[in-house]
């Protein structure tokens, strides 16, 4: 039994919009998203940020790239594995996908709102094959454009690997044991 008075929790208020912008900047710097205008930018990325934001520690570009999910029409992927990958990348399962960082799964359809996109994406499966990918309006649920592939960047700044999760669990259990003694 843990008494509420014994728990010390640090809460940090964050604006979801700021998180989305930070992750979009990380994705651009890591080269995880296509250049929107390759003729003008020639693949160059510039980030303008306050010093306080620029000096914050983040994932390494390689680790960030490893958390990026790519899906293409015709490719085979188990929808359960894709849902697991989304959860591990910081996406939240919800009953309806309405805002960046959410996903919904029903039958052979997976809706996800990637942080790097302006609209949500609907991925339709035929068994374990991706049959179609379309952007859609979250309010009307109507399709906007068909895509041949989609790149889904992480929805969190830090994605712990299994070793880090085990270390954290071990530390929590040690603290719990210390508290109950």
| 21-71 confidence digits (pLDDT tens) | 777 777 777 775 555 555 655 566 677 777 877 777 676 777 777 788 899
pLDDT at site 130:
93
Residue 54 has a CB neighbour count (10 Å cut-off) of 10
Contact 152, 89 (CB under 8 A): yes
Average of per-residue pLDDT across 117-144 = 91
Q: Is the pTM of this model over 0.85?
A: no
| CA–CA distances in Å: residue 77 to residues 69, 73, 97, 166, 169 | 11, 10, 21, 27, 30
pLDDT at site 36:
55
Higher pLDDT, 180 or 42: 180
Q: The tokens of 118 are what?
A: 């302006």
pLDDT of 133 strictly over 90: yes
Helix, strand and coil in the chain, % to nearest 5:
35, 20, 45
pLDDT at site 37:
58
Q: Mean pLDDT of all residues in the chain?
A: 80
CA–CA separation, 153 vs 71, rounded Å? 11
Strand-strand pairing, 109-112 and 69-72: unpaired
Count, residues in the chain? 181
pLDDT of 117 strictly over 90: no
CA–CA separation, 27 vs 69, rounded Å? 12
pLDDT at site 118:
87
The one-character DSSP state at 91 is P
């Amino acid at each position: 039994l843990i008494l509420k008075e014994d728990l010390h929790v640090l809460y940090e208020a964050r604006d979801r919009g700021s998180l989305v912008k930070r992750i979009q900047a990380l994705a651009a710097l890591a080269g995880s998203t296509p250049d929107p205008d390759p003729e003008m930018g020639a693949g160059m990325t510039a980030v303008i940020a306050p010093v306080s934001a620029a000096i914050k520690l983040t994932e390494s570009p390689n680790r960030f790239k490893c958390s990026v999910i790519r899906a293409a029409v015709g490719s085979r992927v188990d929808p359960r594995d894709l849902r697991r990958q989304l959860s591990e990348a910081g996406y939240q399962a919800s009953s309806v996908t309405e805002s960046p960082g959410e996903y919904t799964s029903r039958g052979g359809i997976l809706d996800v709102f990637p942080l790097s996109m302006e609209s949500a994406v609907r991925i339709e499966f035929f068994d374990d094959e991706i049959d179609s990918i379309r952007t859609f309006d979250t309010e009307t649920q109507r399709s906007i454009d068909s895509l041949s592939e989609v790149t889904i960047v992480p929805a969190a700044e830090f994605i712990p690997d299994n070793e880090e999760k085990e270390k954290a669990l071990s530390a929590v259990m040690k603290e719990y044991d210390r508290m109950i003694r």
